[in-house]
Amino acid sequence: MRLQGKVAIVTGGGTGIGQGIAVLFAKEGASIVVFGRRPEPLNETVQLIKQKGGKAIAIPTDVSLFEQVQKAVQQVVTQFGKIDILVNNAGVYLPHDALSASEEEWNTVMSIDLKGVWTCAKAVLPQMLKAGSGKIVNIASIAGLIGFEQSAAYCAAKGAVVNLTREMALDYAPKGINVNAIAPGVIESDMTKPFLSEEASKKSFLDKTPIGRIGKPEDIGYAAVYLASNESDFVVGHTLVVDGGWTIR
């Protein structure tokens, strides 16, 4: 097992990509802690993992609030004694261009998609620095690499996550901590459900994806397992694109 004995936090772990990552990590031997604002989906992920013989707990947490994150991280350390892996996956999407987005909507996206990466890293890094090792995987998006219509705040936040990943990698690679990111394409999730349920919209996504299908949470999960494992020890500050070929056009 590639993550045997590791302790991993997965934010936004109740649904979609986060759930897919959490389930695969558990299959690879990690003890899982899922963070998120809604207890019900988190508990569903925990049950899925336990049904397969894995170890998991849920800690309802708003990643945009550092004090909440800090308390949750301390709870993880108290229960498991360490934190080896952090996956910053929590995110929201609000479809607006720069003109139509309200200040509240802009702040909501930034506080979760960008600030949440910082709050969780800030809370977890002291534990990793103490151990002299750790893996941080930030879930960005191809919207952080190329433009998407009607997605001003989301594109801005995810682009910032890509560059924050590089910056953190420079700071912490010399101290034994690998920081990398994944840029998913269109993946089946609660976030994309409104678009995938419309035939015209789904066809548009498929037309832009050379592989000819919509991505699944496990597609991102396998990439995350690699970046969280010892196999990626020489990978630093990289953003791994997992998009079925969307961005090669």
Task: Say what the pLDDT of residue 133 is.
Answer: 98
Four-point Cα dihedral 155, 169, 128, 142, nearest 10: 30
pLDDT (0 to 100) of residue 131: 98
pLDDT for the residue numbered 200 = 86
User: Catalytic site residue 154?
Assistant: yes
- Phi, psi (rounded to 5 degrees) for 211: -70, -20
93, 154, 222, 226: which one is catalytic?
154
Report the alpha-carbon distance of residue 69 to residue 117 in Å, rounded.
11
Domain boundaries, the chain: 7-187+217-238
The pLDDT score that the predictor gives to residue 213 is 96
Regarding the domain delimited by 7-187+217-238, which CATH topology (the fold level of the hierarchy) does it fall under?
Answer: Rossmann fold (3.40.50)
| Model pLDDT, residue 110 | 98
Query: Model confidence over 87-109: pLDDT tens digits?
Result: 999 999 999 999 999 999 999 99
Give every CB contact of residue 17 below 8 A, 6+ residues apart in sequence: 89, 139, 184, 187, 189, 217, 220, 221
- CA separation for the pair 10, 13 (Å, rounded): 5
Residues of the chain with pLDDT under 70: none
Tens digit of each residue's pLDDT (9 = 90 or more) over 143-157: 999 999 999 999 999
**pLDDT, position 192:** 86
